[in-house]
Amino acid sequence: MIKRSVHIFTRFERLWHWSQMSLIMVLLFTGFRIHGFYELIDFEMAVTVHTYAALSLLLIWAFAIFWLFTTGAWKQYLPTRKGLLKVAKYYAFGIFKGERHPYKKTYTRKHNPLQAISYLILKIMIFPAIWITGLAYLTYGFWDSSSLPLEWIAVIHTISAFAISVFIIVHVYLLSTGGSIKEHIKPMITGFDDVYLTEEEVAYLETNEPQNIKPEE
């Protein structure tokens, strides 16, 4: 395997990442205001901004789902047990002993096993929970809430929001490990990251997609 700098994050993927991050932060900020954690902005304004930000995020997610399945990028999120225990042990113990990360990022598998499982849970459990409850809460005047009290919908929505908050905290924390934060963020700005390639993959990229692989230094 040969380590090379390769363009693995598309322009849409990076736009999706940063716009999603920005909107989620707006939603968390306004959501905490709606729940009364602070009073820096007006309640009605918080509700309005929260609603428009949520609808914008839903639109982005709709495009992202379409992109994932039409490009085959969804395969990056398929869970695997291969190397999972090693990665879990690294984050639990090895990282504090200065050990090297056991996972080698490849051209076809840019997420380590733990990342893949985490992202999959986020996308098929937590995100749908917050979509459904948010839309149900937004349209509560158009359906019968006797079968499912509005309070329960609000509780599930809030729990999902806190789960996303925990994910963000862990995500940011891990950015500070195994190198500088700048090194971890740079791929999501330029699209290029260091991955391991087979000789065949190097030959293919250099011949057919030279713009997607940087020359050896």
Mutual angle of helices 11-34 and 43-71, in 10-degree steps: 150
- Residues 31 and 53: their CA atoms lie apart, in Å, by 11
Six token digits for residue 122: 């986020």
- Asked whether 98 and 118 are in contact (CB, 8 A), the reply is no
Residue 201 CA from chain centroid, whole number:
27
Q: How much is the pLDDT for 146?
A: 67
Mean pLDDT score of the chain: 89
Per 3-state DSSP, the chain is made up of helix, strand and coil in percentages (nearest 5) of 70, 5, 25
Residue 216 forms part of a structural domain: no
Residue 157 forms part of a structural domain: yes
Six token digits for residue 217: 């230094």
Q: Helix, strand, or coil here: 191? A: coil
Residue 217 forms part of a structural domain: no
Pairing of strands 2-7, 192-197: antiparallel
Total domain count, the chain: 1
**Residue 29: how many CA atoms within 13 Å on its side-chain side?**
14
Residue 109 forms part of a structural domain: yes
Residue 86 CA from chain centroid, whole number:
22
Six token digits for residue 169: 């905290």
Domain hosting 93: range is 2-211
- Asked whether 28 and 130 are in contact (CB, 8 A), the reply is no
- Residues 106 and 193: their CA atoms lie apart, in Å, by 10
Q: How much is the pLDDT for 181?
A: 72
Q: How much is the pLDDT for 179?
A: 65
Q: How much is the pLDDT for 145?
A: 65
Per-block mean pLDDT, blocks of 10 residues, the chain (217 long): 90 93 95 90 94 94 91 84 88 84 85 88 92 89 74 91 93 77 85 91 92 86
Q: How much is the pLDDT for 133?
A: 92
Residue 118 forms part of a structural domain: yes
Residue 127 forms part of a structural domain: yes
Residue 51 forms part of a structural domain: yes
- Residues 54 and 198: their CA atoms lie apart, in Å, by 42
CATH for 182:
1.20.950.20
Maximum Cα–Cα distance across the chain: 66
Residue 140 forms part of a structural domain: yes
